Amino acid sequence: MDETATALAVHDDLFGGTAPWPLRRGIEDALVEMADAYTLGKYTLSRREITLYDVFNRVHPEPVDEQQEELFERFMRGDLDDYPEVEPLPSPNTWETVISERGNTRDAWETLIEDDEYTLPILASIRNLRNMLQAGVDEEVIVDHLDLEAVRHAPLYPFRYYQAYKALQQAGI
């Protein structure tokens, strides 16, 4: 989702002006395909020069159904004072929000691993192996969480595994 804003930022930097129709159409297709409440809530990109709101305003994605139309309206107008009748999207339950709220604790990591309300993606799991082990999460719980077949086919570059390995070595784990 964040690459839609990156594509527009690169275009602005290199060429300026309005993005060409094929680029806008490709971004629109990506937005329509990937947009859900979780993704829109997580990837607002508020600290970037081009936010996800900017992307929507420049591309004007056409929703595929009424449900997506409501989702787009809640995303674009939910936090605006001019539209008090539009309910904003809820904050997503990400692993980042859980760790921020509860700290790097065993309870927080085990909640992320065991509770279906939250998601702990493979990349986040690999990158946080050291944190989980230092917090006291049992190795078997972590290994059971990491579906090894999914890890084997995950679209991760090999250096991510190496980084995790080095982090564990440096921590003496």
Query: Does residue 88 form part of some domain?
Result: no
Q: What is the pLDDT of residues 16-72, one digit of tens each?
A: 989 999 999 999 999 999 999 888 988 888 889 999 999 999 999 999 999 999 999
pLDDT at 14 (0 to 100): 96
Say yes or no to pLDDT of 6 above 90.
Answer: yes
pLDDT at 160 (0 to 100): 85
Task: Indicate if 100 and 159 belong to the same structural domain.
Answer: yes
Task: Indicate if 113 and 164 belong to the same structural domain.
Answer: yes
Measured CA to CA, the distance from residue 164 to residue 149 in angstroms comes to: 18
Give the structural domain span for 56: 2-77
Task: Indicate if 12 and 48 belong to the same structural domain.
Answer: yes
- Number of domain units in the chain: 2
Query: Does residue 86 form part of some domain?
Result: no
Say yes or no to pLDDT of 173 above 80.
Answer: no
Q: What is the pLDDT of residues 92-104, one digit of tens each?
A: 878 888 898 999 9
Measured CA to CA, the distance from residue 113 to residue 144 in angstroms comes to: 9
Measured CA to CA, the distance from residue 124 to residue 71 in angstroms comes to: 27
> Which of the two residues, 81 and 21, has the higher pLDDT score?
21
Task: Indicate if 57 and 118 belong to the same structural domain.
Answer: no
CA-nearest of 68, 66, 89 to 77 is 89
CB 145 within 8 A of CB 113: yes
Query: Does residue 89 form part of some domain?
Result: no
Put residue 62 in one of left, alpha, beta given phi > 0 → left and psi -120 to 50 → alpha.
beta
Measured CA to CA, the distance from residue 28 to residue 18 in angstroms comes to: 15
pLDDT at 21 (0 to 100): 96
Dmax over CA atoms of the chain, in Å, equals: 55
Task: Indicate if 64 and 99 belong to the same structural domain.
Answer: no
Neighbours of 104 (CB within 10 A): 13
